[in-house]
Amino acid sequence: MLAQPDGSPVSDPRAYAPLAAELHENSKFSRDRQANFAEPVQRFETDLDRLRGGGDRFGKASAVVLDDEPLPLAPLGELAARRRSHHGTWGDTPLTRRSLATILRVGVGTTGMHRPAPSAGGRYPVECFVAVTDVDGLDPGIYYYAPHALELRRIDPDDPAAALRKSCMQPEDLEGAGAVVVLTGVFSRSTSKYAERGYRFTLLEAGHIGQGICLSAEGVSAGSLCLSGFYDHELDGLLRLDERVESVVHSIVLGAAGERPAGS
């Protein structure tokens, strides 16, 4: 019998998270279900260009090209061993533009036509926004990160610090931070081909990207904290998303690393 680490029995997830259990069951692949995918896949191929979106999203916005020379990073194994979630006081000095540029290029940016995180079918349903509050060399505001152009496109010039704290369940985690990377899912890019399974693929991709961001933050001696305790509608609103097709799925707080509590 499956048990918890302490030996107690595992509860039936349908008892406390019925929607999650239902989603998981209905997003399973099976031989008979696969036969029904022919029509969605055919529609998907027809709509491919529209669903993938172009490199011109927010193309008319004021842009900052992050062509800074990337900071050198330690080997992957060393970064993975050092990575910790930053709980405690953020450092007194601002996060630097070059550090942020390195984090975004390594975690989200492209090399030719390739991206650092795997994406089911190459659909790339995950988009990246950056809420800048205290980064040396960048004005505060909400930015869209265009990975092919390595650009931050400013879509809202207002300082987002207060709105970010309001949308967060633990606002103290943001005090003194430099930026919040917010990952969104444009679910139809994946679900149009993979149906319900595409929702899983979108969340998996966001997780891959989040880990790359955290490891690259460690590499530039910055702190990172994965944050999922946010009020979805409020954060979607801050980014001005059309919630019918796109919504926040993950966020990572970045800042100059300060002292970490013992054991963190």
- Has residue 1 been placed in a domain? no
CATH number of the domain where residue 37 is located: 3.40.109.10
- Has residue 48 been placed in a domain? yes
Identify which of 222, 58, 40, 230 has the alpha carbon closest to the alpha carbon of residue 127.
58
Q: What amino acid is encoded at 89 in this protein?
A: T
Domain count, the chain: 1
Q: What is the pLDDT of residue 59?
A: 87
Written as six digits, the tokens of 203 are: 């969340």
- Has residue 6 been placed in a domain? no
pLDDT exceeds 70 at position 55: no
Identify which of 132, 130, 113, 106 has the alpha carbon closest to the alpha carbon of residue 183.
130
pLDDT band at 19 (very low <50, low <70, confident <90, very high): confident
- Has residue 261 been placed in a domain? no
Q: What is the pLDDT of residue 89?
A: 81
Q: Name, of 2-16, 61-75, 242-256, the range with top average pLDDT.
A: 242-256
What is the bridge-based pairing of β-strands 179-186 and 126-132?
antiparallel
pLDDT exceeds 70 at position 199: yes
Radius of gyration of the chain, Cα coordinates, nearest whole angstrom: 19
Rounded to two decimals, what is the model's pTM? 0.86
pLDDT exceeds 60 at position 87: yes
Q: What is the pLDDT of residue 247?
A: 96
pLDDT band at 43 (very low <50, low <70, confident <90, very high): low
Domain holding 30, by residue range, is 18-256
Please give the Cα distance from 125 to 156 (Å, whole number): 23
DSSP codes of every residue in 226-257: E---B-HHHHHHHTT--TTTEEEEEEEEEEE-
Q: What amino acid is encoded at 215 in this protein?
A: L
Q: What is the pLDDT of residue 40?
A: 58
- Has residue 134 been placed in a domain? yes
Written as six digits, the tokens of 207 are: 């997780």
Q: Measure CA of the first residue to CA of the last residue in the chain; give whole Å.
A: 33
- Has residue 69 been placed in a domain? yes
pLDDT exceeds 90 at position 252: yes
pLDDT exceeds 70 at position 54: no
Q: Name, of 51-55, 92-96, 237-241, the range with top average pLDDT.
A: 237-241
- Has residue 262 been placed in a domain? no
pLDDT band at 115 (very low <50, low <70, confident <90, very high): confident
What is the bridge-based pairing of β-strands 141-146 and 222-226?
unpaired
Q: Which residue has the higher pLDDT, 254 or 262?
A: 254
Question: Tell me: the pLDDT tens digits for 118-164?
Answer: 899 889 999 999 999 999 999 999 999 999 899 999 999 999 999 99
Q: What is the pLDDT of residue 47?
A: 58
Q: What is the pLDDT of residue 257?
A: 84
Question: Tell me: the pLDDT tens digits for 56-72?
Answer: 889 889 999 998 888 98
* 193 CB-contact burial (10 Å; exposed 0-12 / middle 13-18 / buried 19+): buried
pLDDT exceeds 60 at position 51: no
Identify which of 190, 256, 250, 244 has the alpha carbon closest to the alpha carbon of residue 218.
256
- Has residue 3 been placed in a domain? no
